[in-house]
A and B are shown apart, each in its own frame.
Chain A
């Protein structure tokens, strides 16, 4: 546990930072405003490959804009894998924006991020997923380009799975605990055609590619995740996305399914 705190401290020192570009499945390089708080309820409905069972993951999440360059997330992982909905763990995530090249209606930004996850459930697949499956840590960088109504973002990170809590070991071999995650996201503002006030509902369409390459086994997956997003009153958000496996050599139990997210942002929270 001490080790975790040291890792977190190091991550916070050297990285930090969060942003507010608006992808459904990944985080952009931009941050939330300083002194703002975002509340999220993430619902994942993932269909099991070998049965008709739907795995439901509920992830409540709190996001805090600590300063203009630093943002933190804390979340809890609940799922119905053991029949009843139960708490399986949580994670903290930090992002630090270290580069901003802004112009009117465009920007290029880069950020470093880190995540530390804890999970107490059994490990039943060799894909490493720190968002509700594995304990472990991740660190990486993300770059985002905004050009008027289109945003493009790409992230590269190093993932390391540790054993899960309650004696649930990572049983796929020690050298297979390490992986590289690569993501690529494109989003476009579809509506309104012309902005007139903050009450207009915004509609964004997004397409994201999510992939992982295991440094030990050489196994990989590539998923595509299209989503639609509605922003109400320039303050609240609903994301509806579908994640679909395109290609894999990993053992995965429930790779395909829906994300339904509710988000509300509080500006000038303190």
Chain B
């Protein structure tokens, strides 16, 4: 079974030409603008981040990236945590090029390996928003509820996502 995933991953990585166009991130644990600003400045310090549109009221950040740069989801999450807060929502807009997805199957999209959870079998084309549901990318409460298998988390390479 693992081998099939591996083959599938390789096939998809060749077939899929994809890119992260933006990330909408919601932070938890803050209200004040100084706290929000500390997250904003921390995110801006990442070399692949181009522009951030921050909404202080809702603690959300729309992050756009430099063209051709490799977007590292874990680095974004770490910056929020280093500022003293947590990620409560992480939605990435990614470009898909006819990628077939199915629940509990792993696909490679660009440099990312995604394992879809709770999705209908479908083919994704164009820019789609996917929500990461791994630990640290959703609130602790939501993570508990989703019950994503922890074994895959440890590799750090496979992101559990839903649409």
Where the two chains meet, the residues of A that have a C-beta atom closer than 8 Å to any C-beta of B are: 19-20, 22, 30-36, 65, 67-68, 97, 100-107, 146, 148-149, 189, 194-198, 200, 202, 231, 234-235, 237, 265, 267-268
Contact = CB atoms under 8 A, between A and B. Distances in A.
A195 B35 CA distance: 13
B30 A105 contact: yes
B139 A235 contact: no
Given A104-B28, A146-B29, A198 B36 contact: yes
A102 B85 contact: yes
B32 interface: yes
A237 B37 CA distance: 14
B32 to A, nearest CB: 6
A224 to B, nearest CB: 24
Given A194-B57, A195-B36, 8 more contacts: A33-B82, A67-B82, A100-B86, A104-B28, A149-B31, A195-B33, A231-B33, A234-B36
Given A102-B139, A103-B88, A268-B42, A202 B31 contact: no
Contact of A202 (B28, B32, B85, B88): B32
A247 B32 CA distance: 34
A153 to B, nearest CB: 14
A234 B82 contact: no
A187 to B, nearest CB: 10
17 contacts: A19-B84, A32-B38, A33-B84, A34-B84, A36-B38, A67-B82, A97-B84, A100-B86, A102-B140, A104-B28, A104-B88, A106-B29, A107-B28, A149-B31, A198-B40, A198-B56, A231-B34
Contacts of B39: 33
Nearest to B39: A33
A190 to B, nearest CB: 12
Contacts of A106: 28-29
B34 A22 contact: yes
A173 B41 CA distance: 51
Nearest 7 pairs between A and B by C-beta?
A102-B29, A234-B37, A195-B56, A34-B82, A107-B29, A267-B41, A33-B83
Contacts of A33: 38-39, 42, 82-84
Interface in B51-80: 54, 56-57, 59
A148 B104 CA distance: 37
A268 to B, nearest CB: 5
A91 B26 CA distance: 38
Interface size class of B (residues with CB under 8 A): 20 to 34
A267 B86 contact: no
Nearest to A103: B28
A158 B37 CA distance: 35
A227 to B, nearest CB: 16
Nearest to A101: B140
Nearest to A197: B56
Interface in B12-30: 26, 28-30
A146 B28 CA distance: 11
Contacts of B45: 268
Contacts of A196: 56-57
A235 B37 contact: yes
Given A67-B82, A189-B31, A104 B59 contact: yes
Interface string B131-163: 000000001110000000000000000000000
A194 B34 CA distance: 14
Nearest to B81: A68
A22 B86 CA distance: 19
A231 B32 contact: yes
A101 B29 CA distance: 8
